[in-house]
């Protein structure tokens, strides 16, 4: 079941954080016990909602840098600060298992039904706890570079003796003294002491924009001092007090094989103890660079789009029936079939029959190539199909459509168009949203196009909506040289 956002209640206030643009909403609410919970809303305010749980020591600002991407993907990410971090009130003596109650209160406050959860690094166990203890609300979870259950025998293998001693203090007062001694009471020494690992020139390092966002997020984490990190480490060091074997919702465990902060063994263990888990290992991703995968994972959890290919594209040698099919102009410049055709080749009979209609729309259409490509581009954009839009950007540039016009396609009828191009944008939007052309649009088209062309217009938009459904549902990956415009 895809999570849906219901009618929200007004949030109670705004935290004073600047520099992230006007579109990110930075809010607070009062929890049932009187504590303040600070949270951000990033992305499409009308999209399905996913909650994001930050690492240690970062904050609700982690994902603010992804606002544009989340909007393009059509998903809303709600990121609360854990107690004591950023703008959230401390909660002395808290347990990891207390977090689902705060999450449920936030969901109620915002009018959410079911929703996905993502936990990064030290936030990973909190996502697992919600999947286990809040199953009636959580539709799915992703654990990204997550710390596993530290009650597991192999959990401590990568920690130095000093790190192990710190995390096993088990006492908030002692942990606070340790943090104050090493980082200062205000946490100002954390980045100086720990830095952002790996170093900026490492292959698995985050890009500069993401690195800058993480530095700002760490600064916000310490707004109330180091007490939040000190408490988090005590809580993290305790064995999980819930049974992950009871989890019934889908859980993605995503881990980079270049992660030196939380080794891949943690991800493997988490996946082993959750019966519904799928482990996804990302080659070359480190502990910080992997944050860039969060928007795609949010879209996947929200039921918007997969972030990886669900079917491996086939080649001619995989099935004797495919060689003849692929010889019909379905190969790319390297001589192998384009990913769309290699994917649809899992059903050779359907592919053969579909190619007849697809050939009409693409090459025997009574519309001009320019009109056809404007309609396809707008349909690909409306369907949020990275592959369809990207492939037809390449084609459109060969069909008298400029780069500026491609950008206007993303705006739609409100863009800077002449009357006829705006009419095509309107027709594509009506067919996408209403599955029907209005009387006004049908008549307007009739002043410029024949009946045959109007039928081809409907066939073009409808045909490429079907194509987008295949592409989006199977997660077809972009071919080499195709731009990613979403």
Distances (CA, A) of 268 to 120, 121, 265: 15, 14, 5
Question: What pTM did the predictor assign?
Answer: 0.67
* Mean pLDDT for back-to-back runs of 10 residues, the chain (486 residues): 32 43 84 98 93 97 93 93 98 96 98 95 98 93 96 87 83 93 92 62 65 91 96 95 92 93 95 91 91 93 80 92 84 86 95 94 96 97 90 96 94 92 96 93 98 98 97 93 83
Task: Please report how the helices 451-474 and 348-363 are oriented relative to each other, as an axis angle in degrees rounded to 10.
Answer: 140
The per-residue pLDDT for 19 is 45
The Cα 473–Cα 218 span in angstroms is: 37
The SS3 of residue 195 is: coil
Domain 25-301 CATH (choose: 3.40.50.300, 3.40.50.1820, 1.20.120.1230, 3.50.30.40): 3.40.50.1820
Distances (CA, A) of 381 to 368, 388, 395, 406, 464: 20, 8, 15, 10, 11
Give ranges for CATH 1.20.1290.10 in the chain: 316-474
Q: Taking the domain 316-474, which CATH number applies?
A: 1.20.1290.10
Provide the edge-to-edge strand list for the sheet that holds 251-256: 25-30, 36-43, 76-80, 49-53, 115-120, 138-144, 251-256, 277-282
Query: Strand 76-80 to strand 115-120: parallel, antiparallel, or no bridges (unpaired)?
Result: unpaired
Angle at 22 between CA 18 and CA 26, to 5 degrees: 60
Phi, psi of 435 (to 5 degrees): 60, 25
The per-residue pLDDT for 2 is 30
Give ranges for CATH 3.40.50.1820 in the chain: 25-301
The Cα 463–Cα 291 span in angstroms is: 36
């Amino acid at each position: 079941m895809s999570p849906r956002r219901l009618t929200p209640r007004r949030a109670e206030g705004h935290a004073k954080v600047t520099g992230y643009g006007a579109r990110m909403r930075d809010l607070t609410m009062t929890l049932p016990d009187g504590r303040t919970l600070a949270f951000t809303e990033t992305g499409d305010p009308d999209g399905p909602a996913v909650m994001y749980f930050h690492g240690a020591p970062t904050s609700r600002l982690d994902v603010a840098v992804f606002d544009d991407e989340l909007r393009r993907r059509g998903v809303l990410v709600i990121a609360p600060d854990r107690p004591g971090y950023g703008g959230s009130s401390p909660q002395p003596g808290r347990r990891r298992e207390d977090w689902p109650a705060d999450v449920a209160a936030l969901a109620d406050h915002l009018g959410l039904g079911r929703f996905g959860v993502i936990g990064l690094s030290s936030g990973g166990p909190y996502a697992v706890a919600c999947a286990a203890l809040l199953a009636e609300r959580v539709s799915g979870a992703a654990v990204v570079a997550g710390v596993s259950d530290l009650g597991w025998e192999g959990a401590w293998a990568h920690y130095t003796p000093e790190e192990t001693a710190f995390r096993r203090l088990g006492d908030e007062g002692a942990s606070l003294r340790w943090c104050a001694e090493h980082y200062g009471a205000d946490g100002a020494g954390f980045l100086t002491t720990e830095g952002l690992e790996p170093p900026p020139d490492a292959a698995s390092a985050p890009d500069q924009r993401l690195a800058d966002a993480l530095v700002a997020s760490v600064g916000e984490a310490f707004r109330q001092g180091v007490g939040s990190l000190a408490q988090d480490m005590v809580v993290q060091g305790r064995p999980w007090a819930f049974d992950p074997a009871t989890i019934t919702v889908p859980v993605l465990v995503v881990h980079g094989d270049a992660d030196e902060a939380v080794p891949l063994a943690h991800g493997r263990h988490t996946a082993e103890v959750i019966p519904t888990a799928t482990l996804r290992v990302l080659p070359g991703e480190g502990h910080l660079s992997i944050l860039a995968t969060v928007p795609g994972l949010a879209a996947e959890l929200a039921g918007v789009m997969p972030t990886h290919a669900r079917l491996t594209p086939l080649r001619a040698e995989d099935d004797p029936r495919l060689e003849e099919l692929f010889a019909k102009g379905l190969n790319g410049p390297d001589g192998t079939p384009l990913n769309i055709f290699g994917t649809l080749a899992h059903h050779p009979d359907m592919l053969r029959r579909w190619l007849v209609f697809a050939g009409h729309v693409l090459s025997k259409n009574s519309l001009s190539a320019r009109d056809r490509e404007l309609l396809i581009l707008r349909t690909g954009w409306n369907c949020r199909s990275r592959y369809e839009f990207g492939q037809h950007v390449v084609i459109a540039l060969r069909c008298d459509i400029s780069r500026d016009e491609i950008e206007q396609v993303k705006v739609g009828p409100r863009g800077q168009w002449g009357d006829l191009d705006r009419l095509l944008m309107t027709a594509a939007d009506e067919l996408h949203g209403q599955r029907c052309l209005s009387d006004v649009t049908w008549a307007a088209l009739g002043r410029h196009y024949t009946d045959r062309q109007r039928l081809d217009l409907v066939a073009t938009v409808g045909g490429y909506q079907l194509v987008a459904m295949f592409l989006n549902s199977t997660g077809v990956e972009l071919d080499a040289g195709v731009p990613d415009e979403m």
